[in-house]
Structure formats: C-alpha cells, structure tokens
C-alpha cells in the first residue's frame, strides 16, 4: 500500500491564482515526520519544510503555507499568488521512526503556472 | 561547503556492464541514501546507511549493492546493468534521519 498519496498528478493554474497540493499519508507510528520537496525543471530536489507528528501547528513561509491535520492524515501545501517560478514537481514524503527513519515519497504533483 | 555531490552526472552503459556511482557529503551526516526516480513513480529507496560500515535494503534493492566504508562516502554498484535500471539516481544525506539533502542526480542509460 502506498504510504504517501498525492492524488493530483498534474495541476495548471494561471499566475497569481492560489493552488493547494494535497498529500495524504498512512502510518501506524506515533513518531513520524512529514516533508515537502520541490523539483524544478533543472532536476535538483529542494527541501521546503519538515513537520513532526507532535506539532500540528500550521506554518506559513512567505507565499507558502502548510496545513497538517492528523485527524485526516493530511499534510497539504498551499501556494498563494502563484508565480511562474513555482512551476515544478512537488513531492510529499513521510519518515517513520519505527522503520529506521526510511523515507517514503509520494509520486509527485506537477504544477504548471501559466503566465 | 559542497553539500552532497554525485559522480558521474551522466553515464551510458551496455547491458551486462558494471559501474559504481559515488556519493560524497561534507556535512558530517550519519545517514545516507540512494534513490532512483522514474517517470510517474516518484523516488524509490534502493539502499540506505545509518552509519559508517552499515547498510540496509530499501524498497527496490535488487540488482544493486552498496558500501559505506567512510562516513562521507556512499557507493552504489551495479554488477550487471539491465535496461530496467535506466533511471535518474539521487543520493541524499541527513542528520539522524531528519531532513534529507539531495545531490544533483546521475542520469544512467542502459542500452
């Protein structure tokens, strides 16, 4: 079974629109970490955020915000006022303490921001 | 501070040939990982290491071997390359399994 599900394969938005990328995870561990990574067209993987399972506070960083809800096992990522430079593939990932901190990645969401 | 580096950046192999991919990190991280990325599949863990001299299998270990003789290096070996191993390979390192920092990737084409 997929531990991290990103149901949105591709999303297109017009510049300045807001967009939310969904991430649903599955774990039986009580201690785990959730991550978002960005992979721009150049191919490198860029770390965006890490949350631990004991901290459900939402986080905002500039135009980026993250909504962590344990009740629905979701860790969604919202980009406000999207820009062309936000065009990339975004990956959600899960790390469980119980499995030696192995990382499990979702299949990614490809975001295209149209100027 | 170079972070995580990978050698080579690109390689073409013929079926049955062998090669070694080198990953090096200068952040003194204990954990290191090898992933492969295929279209529509995300990143899948091949092998990982939680310290010098230790390695463990990930999700897709078959056809690969690894070694961690030095803390800063993690080698990925293909003994007999197959076309199914055509992929982009990423190395990553982390401090005690927390945030991973990735190398730039190695594109491997097996003909």
Q: What is the average pLDDT across B93-97? A: 83
Cα–Cα distance, B63 to B5 (Å, whole number): 23
Q: Do A103 and B100 touch (CB under 8 A)?
A: yes
Cα–Cα distance, B52 to B69 (Å, whole number): 6
Contact with chain B for residue A90, Cβ under 8 A: no
Q: For strand B73-78 and strand B65-67, is the pairing parallel, antiparallel, or unpaired? A: antiparallel
Contact with chain A for residue B39, Cβ under 8 A: no
Judge if the upstream peptide bond of residue A112 is cis by omega within 30 degrees of 0: no
Nearest to B105 by CA among B94, B91, B85: B91
Q: Contact, B23 vs B72, CB < 8 A? A: no
* The pLDDT of residue A57 is above 90: no
Q: What pLDDT sits at residue A55?
A: 85
Facing A35 at nearest CB: one of B96, B99, B105: B99
Tell me how many degrees the CA angle A48-B28-B57 measures, rounded to the nearest 5. 75
Q: Contact, A73 vs A22, CB < 8 A? A: no
Place of tokens 């809800």: A69
* The pLDDT of residue A1 is above 80: no
Q: Do A44 and B102 touch (CB under 8 A)?
A: yes
B-proximal residues of A, 7-66, CB under 8 Å: 9, 33, 35, 37, 43-45, 47, 50
Tokens matching residue B47 = 């092998």
Tokens matching residue B20 = 């070694």
Q: What pLDDT sits at residue B1?
A: 65
């Amino acid at each position: 079974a997929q531990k991290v599900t990103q149901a949105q394969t591709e999303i297109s938005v017009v510049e300045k629109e807001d967009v939310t990328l969904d991430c649903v995870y599955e774990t039986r561990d009580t201690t785990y970490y959730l991550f978002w990574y960005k992979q721009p067209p150049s191919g490198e993987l860029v770390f965006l955020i890490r949350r631990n399972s004991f901290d459900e506070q939402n986080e905002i960083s500039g135009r980026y915000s993250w909504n962590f809800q344990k009740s629905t096992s979701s860790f969604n990522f919202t980009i406000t006022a999207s820009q062309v430079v936000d065009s990339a593939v975004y990956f959600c990932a899960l790390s469980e303490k119980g499995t030696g901190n192995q990382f499990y990645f979702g299949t990614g969401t490809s975001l295209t921001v149209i100027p | 501070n170079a972070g995580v580096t990978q050698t080579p950046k690109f390689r073409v192999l013929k079926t049955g040939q062998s090669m070694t991919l080198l990953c090096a990190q200068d952040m003194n991280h204990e954990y290191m990982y090898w992933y492969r990325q295929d279209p529509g599949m995300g990143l899948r863990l091949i092998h990982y290491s939680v310290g010098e001299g230790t390695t463990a299998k990930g999700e897709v270990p078959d056809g690969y071997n690894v070694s961690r003789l030095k803390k800063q290096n993690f080698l990925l070996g293909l003994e007999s390359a197959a076309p199914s191993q055509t992929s982009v390979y990423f190395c990553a390192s982390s401090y005690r399994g927390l945030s991973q920092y990735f190398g730039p990737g190695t594109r491997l084409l097996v003909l």
